[in-house]
Structure 1
Amino acid sequence: MRHGIVILPQDPWLVAREKWQRAESLGFDHAWTYDHLSWRSLAGEPWGATVPTLTAAALVTDRIRLGTFVASPNFRHPVTFAKELATLDDISGGRLIAGLGSGGTGFDAFVLGQASLSPRERHERFTEFVDGLDELLRFESGSETAPESVGVGAGFSFDGAWYTARHSRMVGEPVQRPRMPFVLAANGPKGLALVSRVAEGWVTTGGDGLTGEQWWRAVAELSARLDEAAVAGGRDPLTLDRYLSLDSGGVFSLESADRYEELCGRAAELGFTDVISHWPRAEGIYAGREAVLDEVAGRLAEERDVRD
């Protein structure tokens, strides 16, 4: 199992830098930050931008993979975001994971004056967003692999219900081939079908509003539905990485090393390949002690030594 940590974009960079470097030195496999303009109970607190934060993190780390948790179409266009992702992947030396979601219904959905969308509209927009990114990030401008519909070197164009592009140009050849991995957040049947069609991984926070055993049952049911969607789409379910947000079921995973170990064990039993927790905050949501990170890292290092 691989282990990830979310570092919220709240600290001045002189403080945040140490956290990103420490996440790598502690042995975490991947580190993430939220892609929001502000977030829920922390809306009145400092909150930095996602891409600059990950770019800075890429420059002060060497090994750890970096990801968006998860990028939202609420305030993004596939063309501009594809260029940001491709540039960031280049800067990081091919360490980027593109976590993508359909966009929440809170502050981010309305701050730019958007109309309220139905669940169906949000899914249709998400599908168009993901498909646009997929094609753009695979596109090698001026090469023989350029889509025939636009001609070699002519740029990439598309017309959709939500997004339009005219001869868009990309940064260059993809650093990761055929492109960086996509990890999609989805719980509904259409979303899970999209995961099985286009993504390398799936991430879930489980059932909304559920806690305890109800949450774990919902996680198991969602994972089983992903299996069904993959089979229906002609894909081996085992080819999909599965990421579980451990802090979504009413318990903070890093309240203690024992708690973290327990939750990781339950995730492994359900077939998850990756788990993600949150860097302990001083107070409020995800409040905890950073000393727990050291204990968790020690246990994970011991496990790796045993496997090796």
Structure 2
Amino acid sequence: MVHVRVPGSATVAVVRTGIVILPEQRWWVAEPKWRVAEEYGFHHAWTYDHLGWRTLVDGPWFGAVPTLSAAAMVTSTIRLGTLVASPNFRHPVPFARELMALDDLSDGRITVGIGAGAVGYDTTVMGDTELPPAERTARFAEFVDVLDRLLTRERTTFEGAHYEVREARSAPGCVQRPRLPFVVAANGPKAMAVAARYGTGWVTTGPPAGSVETAEEWWAGVERYAARFTRALDAIGRRKHTIDWYLNADSSPAYSLSSAGHFRDVAGRAQELGFTDLLAHWPREEGVYAGSEAVLERVASEVLPELVSG
């Protein structure tokens, strides 16, 4: 078990902010967004690690690793990461190599967000059989364990129910020591146990889409998940302040960047529940996460400085 701390991740009284930029636009359009995310003062920027995603599956879509590689080249301070990588189409051995390369390109600014992966396109497009929830969680636990070994040991040999690794090398290793941080996505008890054991951070989406109708119902679910994760930490004797808590605010029925005032309220509620980090999505012209970039500008100029200053 490796608990990694990163600069600026000590216990804070304010909420750090992150922005998610979907990998759906050609680089000449996407590149300015990554630059601006840093200029606006976001603490971290993320992209989805999928082969295709939900209602956008028939539209343009690019790979997360090359996208983050390019983003690392046009930024210098903001942390970058996957939201989230999963075993649905990744094997820990080649993925560990890709993460080490990203960590090197960014000079130690990469955080890997990892989750169990949902059913759907990421699985079916490769012809695989969709696993039932319990087996998918078991595979995820093994995936995280193997990835941790690969990133912290010179050589790894492993034989499990889902993965076999033979004498995998890890030179030169990560820039961040003992490895780059893991932010583990978890809503259920078993996945939360993985987050409690391996995570530098825990990220939740709150109640799944379709299970709640109002923002208030969603926040009530987030509060239940926060209490559940506290119990997961208690079960292994880990203190809450040793792990960052990330909230994906746009899993709520109410888009976080609908107005500057709403974003301010979302940040306040997240802080009250113990979250250290808040994730919002760059506004899109239509469909999911539809919004106005003018609101994003107002949030950056008015709200983010308030959060930083406390």
Would you say same fold, with TM above 0.5? yes
TM-score, length-scaled by structure 1 = 0.93
CA distance in 1, matches of 2:101, 2:248: 27
Q: Partner amino acid for 2:177?
A: R
Query: Could you say what secondary structure the match of 2:28 adopts?
Result: helix
Any idea what SS the aligned residue of 1:266 has?
Answer: helix
Q: Is the 8 A contact 2:16 2:308 kept in 1?
A: no
- Please tell me the residue identity of whatever aligns with 1:197: R
Letter in 2 for 1:207: P
> Equivalent residues in 2 for 1:1-308 (5 A)?
1-139=15-153, 141=154, 155-208=155-208, 209=210, 210=212, 211-303=214-306, 306-307=309-310
Larger deviation: 185-194 or 92-101?
Answer: 185-194
Mark the runs of 5 or more structure 1 residues left unpaired by the alignment: 142-154
Name the SS of the counterpart of 1:261 in structure 2.
Answer: helix
Following superposition, the deviation at residue 198 of structure 1 comes to 1.1
Unaligned runs of 5+ in 2: 1-14
CA contact (8 A) 1:83 1:171 kept: no
Report which structure shows greater RCO (CA 8 Å, sep ≥6): 2
Aligned length, in residue pairs: 293
Aligned to 1:151: none
Deviation at 1:116, TM superposition (A): 2.0
What value does the CA root-mean-square deviation take over the aligned residues? 1.2
Question: Structure 1 residue 304: deviation in Å?
Answer: 5.9
1:152 aligned partner: none
Q: Name the stretch that deviates more: 215-224 or 110-119.
A: 110-119
SS at match of 2:88: helix
8 A contact 2:49–2:63 mirrored in 1: yes
Segments ≥4 residues shifted beyond 4 Å? 304-307
* TM score, norm. by length of structure 2: 0.92
Structure with larger Rg = 1
Counterparts of 2:193 and 2:18 in 1: how far apart (Å)?
25
Q: Identity of aligned pairs, percent?
A: 54
- Partner of 2:68: helix, strand, or coil? helix
How far off is 1:301 after superposition? Answer: 5.0
Q: What do the CA deviations read for 1:259-305 (whole angstroms, capped 9, x no partner)?
A: 11111111111010000000000111111111111111112454267
